[in-house]
A and B are shown apart, each in its own frame.
Chain A
Amino acid sequence: MSTNIRALPALGPTRRLKLPRQAERRLGNGLTVIAVRRPAVPLVELRLWMPFGRTHLARRAMLAETMLTGTGTLTATQIAAELQKVGGGLSAGADPDRLMVSGAGLVTGLDRMLEILADVLTGASYPADWVQTERDRLVDGIQVAQSQPAHLARTALLRRIYGQHPYAVQTPEPEQVRAVRPAALRRLHAERVHPAEAVLVLVGDVQPERALDAAEKALAGWTGDSRGVDLPPAPPLEPGQLLLVDRPGSVQSSLRIALPAVPRTHPDHAALQLANLIFGGYFSSRWTENIREDKGYTYGPHSSVEHSVAGSVLVAGADVATEVTGPALLETTYELGRLASLPPKPDELEQARQYALGTLQLGISTQAGLAALTSAYAGNGLRLDFLAEHAARLAKATVDDVAEVGARYLAPSGAVVVVLGDAERVAGPLAALTPIRTESA
């Protein structure tokens, strides 16, 4: 093996963030349509974001499962087959903020996809036999989810963070699902599946103005008033005892930590994003280098800032071997405390900054990535040009800025900690580090 010393090549000049061509129109029925051109492949991505706050948990979940199972003119099978014909598909999903219909297809099939979407929005019929089939499937799905450690840990964390807020429980219990009848779904659809505050995003090999025309033609007949249902703001985190959720026999402990965060438009957000990267938000973070690459406690620790309409939160998670649960929490607290007490090194900040800026470029380099970002922004009242503003803020953030947000948001004293694992084996080591309270899963 040769031992030539070779120097790392320098990076070439940075290419400026270039936003794609786009157009926007608010239709007479209140629907906002945004069309973005990225012609790399002859496809189009579709995202319809509808505000859906304060809806009944089980009915909301069931509505998403059954919305595409029939209309006045098409059966579920026909809907799927008609979409397939144009290389397309649609699916629906719901959470405490929104109902979302997503899909993609050949761009030559855009008119047909929009036609079928309109048929579903205005004429979804929730046929009784389909509702029954999907109800049973959803119940089974929930049962399987409830056996997954990642789901159980997430559920416990949400309950612990949000208390009485609608974000606290996001998966219905099987018996709640079993109680949902087709009439309730038709009622919920009639009351809440409305264009007034909804945003449709189309991204792909389209001429933006022409795509807006197509959407207007297909969806102008979709009507219904907005009732302006807002969620209350998410409550502030209340740190306290570590919540240990017992899952006897677990060979790993699922460690989940919530810390305060701010919305995308907050002046602290860019610096907080950088502080999060330095802590645990990417592979080259302190946390990963410590508990994975140095100590081998875990496969994939990760932290990220999650934005919802009613508030933002920073969530860190790692699944660690049962026998190192205590030490893993110790190192985690150490890394949070270090970032809250000491400024990051300038080269650490530069590395995180380049990563944040580079991944913005990567994120908008595909139709699907552009659609996801445009829709997520629009759901929070922002437009794609916010990306450039955000990039400018990332470029400007100083070591002092990051140190300041580190102290403000990442301090371990402000953390809510949940651990799912074998309580018999991990309660002792955890209690040596912090007061704990144990519950069964």
Chain B
Amino acid sequence: MPTRRARIPATKYPVERFTLDNGLRVVLTPDRSAPVIGVAVVYDVGIRSEPQGRTGFAHLFEHLMFQGSENLEKLAHFRHVQGAGGTFNGSTHLDYTDYYETLPANALERALFLEADRMRGPRLTEENLRNQVDVVKEEIRVNVLNRPYGGFPWLTLPPVMFDTFPNAHDGYGSFDDLESATVADAADFFRRYYASGNAVLAISGDVDVTEATALVERHFGDVPARPAPQRPDFTEPDLTVERRTSYTDQLAPLPAVASAWRVPDPVDDFAGYLPYVVLAEVLTDGEASRLVERLVQRDRSVTGVGGYLGFMGDPFDVRDPTALLLQAHLPPGGDVDKVLRTVDEELDRLATDGLTDGELARTQARMATHLLRDTDAVLGRALRMAVLEQQRGEPGLLNELPRLVGEVTEEQVRAAAATLRPQRRASIEVIPGGANK
């Protein structure tokens, strides 16, 4: 039966870009369909730039950015955003740190004031540092130490795949490193990485471009100019011999495994990278996908399987080196070796026999839906455009992504699958130590 291809729709979000004299890059994307705005400030520093002996520092510093600034007391930032009807947060990634608000549109100037004030200088005090070290330790306890599969695989797989400190260390940080962090470390980190020239501001939603431009000038124009630091080269050679390790998780009741293979540079070789993004979905998106059909339904050797690009699941927000990951949870007594062998077999089959009629088109259609759905929220749009500007100078790529995903060919997906060989693979296995075993 011939397959009718679903037409992949695109968005047409307008994009205005400019750079202030102090080097701050700005992206505006107006949309007046609802009276809300998203504001994002992204700094070009992440986990990979942490100094040795300071694991977890980029994330700890993110917390400190909320602890008051030049004209704002501790707690003021939260109160001013929420008191304007908005919500806020920040997050630390391998290659960037973001800060953001989504608010009713009448709060635009307030949000810009708050972001500019902490770009000029956060209040880095001993008391706030000690308080936030405690808070971060609780964050690690709740997300990693006190629960099964904590940190699997985003914290546990990089040290298997990589050898250098920037790529391999624990991005949440050790308690020892966190506790020994000083205010001087924080001031130094701010001076180095939180420069206006190292940041991007994005505003999306119900704004007028002329008015918003004037407000950006007013609030950010006199932020002292500091250039972006040179980003080090984080490159590591690809694996040539399979790496495999395991650990016992005392809280986990069932086995699990994750594998990763290096992929082409997401920024410098986007065309080479994109087929891997599609491949991950062909393998694992829903009941009709390759690995779900085989491993979950036919063999029943896993209870769930997922595939994605980037250790934090961020295919379009990460730089080289990065990876395609597969992770699976197994039933009691499940055989990890067998699961890995079957994955190899299915990758071979895909590389050799290609895709079935319509398999690629339907996967691409659903990927387009996910991309569109993520950008329906003004904040999703601002954040994504800020990072695209920062890493590629190309925020408008957001409008192109559904189409570009749709243009990936069967031949490219097959070729991508053919590179996922066992000797290039790093895997980590969770051995259940839980009482329910």
Contacts and interface: CB of A to CB of B under 8 A. Distances in A.
Contacts of A432: none
A88 B85 contact: no
A262 to B, nearest CB: 24
Given A141-B303, A252-B141, A84 B288 contact: yes
A321 B138 contact: yes
Interface in A286-318: 289, 292-300
Interface stretch (A10-18, A117-125, A161-169, A406-414): A10-18
A331 B329 CA distance: 40
Nearest to A360: B85
A299 B222 CA distance: 35
Contact of B11 (A41, A84, A141, A249): A41
Interface string B108-121: 11100100010011
A351 B375 CA distance: 29
B132 interface: yes
A73 interface: no
B358 A362 contact: no
B286 A106 contact: no
Contacts of B369: 43, 87-88, 104-106
B287 interface: yes
B9 to A, nearest CB: 4
B106 A14 contact: yes
A6 B368 CA distance: 44
Interface in A1-29: 1-6, 8-15, 18
A149 B434 CA distance: 13
Contacts of B31: 40
Contacts of A77: 287-288, 293, 297
Interface in B293-338: 293, 296-297, 300, 303-304, 329, 331-332
B55 interface: no
B108 A12 contact: yes
A221 B80 CA distance: 53
Contacts of A41: 11, 372-373, 375-376
A366 interface: yes
B351 interface: no
B138 to A, nearest CB: 4
Contact of B373 (A5, A76, A104, A147): A104
B82 A321 contact: no
B148 A147 contact: yes
A33 interface: no
B380 to A, nearest CB: 9
Contacts of B434: 147
A380 interface: no
Nearest to A247: B146
A12 B106 contact: yes
Nearest to B74: A293
B131 interface: yes
B104 A15 contact: yes
Contact of B142 (A18, A38, A252): A252
B235 interface: no
Contacts of A15: 35, 104-106
Interface in A69-88: 69, 76-81, 84-88
A396 interface: no
A18 B369 CA distance: 26
Interface stretch (A93-101, A132-140, A230-238, A397-405): A132-140
Interface string A50-84: 00000000000000000011000000111111001
A38 B376 CA distance: 10
A14 B103 CA distance: 12
Contact of B146 (A42, A250, A294): A250
Residue among B33, B138, B377 with the most chain A CB within 10 A? Answer: B138
B121 A1 contact: yes
B296 A284 contact: no
Interface stretch (B153-161, B193-201, B248-256): B248-256
Contacts of A13: 106
B407 interface: no
Contacts of A86: 6, 365
A318 to B, nearest CB: 9
A119 B110 CA distance: 51
A350 B293 CA distance: 54
Contacts of A68: 287
A108 interface: yes
Nearest to B378: A365
B135 interface: yes
A292 B137 CA distance: 12
B134 A85 contact: no
A188 interface: no
A22 to B, nearest CB: 15
A288 to B, nearest CB: 8
B104 A358 contact: yes
A354 B377 CA distance: 20
B148 A358 contact: no
B107 A12 contact: yes
B17 interface: no
A143 interface: yes
Nearest to B281: A84
A351 B85 CA distance: 8
B83 to A, nearest CB: 4
A351 B365 contact: no
A104 B372 CA distance: 11
Contact of B288 (A80, A105, A296, A320): A80
Contacts of A140: 254, 303, 329, 331-332
B251 A147 contact: yes
A299 B254 contact: no
B148 A252 contact: no
Contacts of A78: 288
Contacts of A6: 70-71, 113, 117
B296 A137 contact: yes
A85 B7 CA distance: 10
Contacts of B373: 41, 43, 104, 367-368
Interface of A: 1-6, 8-15, 18, 38-43, 68-69, 76-81, 84-89, 104-106, 108-109, 130, 133, 136-137, 140-141, 143-144, 146-150, 249-252, 282-284, 289, 292-300, 319-321, 350-351, 354-355, 357-359, 361-362, 364-369
Given A77-B287, A319-B138, 7 more contacts: A8-B71, A43-B372, A144-B329, A252-B141, A351-B79, A355-B82, A365-B377
Interface of B: 3, 6-7, 9, 11, 31, 33-36, 70-71, 74-75, 78-80, 82-88, 102-110, 113, 117, 120-121, 130-139, 141-142, 145-149, 222, 224, 250-254, 285-288, 293, 296-297, 300, 303-304, 329, 331-332, 358, 361-363, 365-366, 368-369, 372-373, 375-378, 434, 436
27 contacts: A2-B222, A40-B376, A41-B372, A41-B376, A43-B373, A77-B288, A78-B288, A81-B358, A108-B9, A136-B300, A140-B303, A143-B332, A147-B436, A148-B148, A149-B146, A250-B146, A252-B145, A284-B79, A296-B132, A298-B135, A321-B138, A351-B82, A358-B103, A358-B107, A361-B85, A362-B36, A365-B36
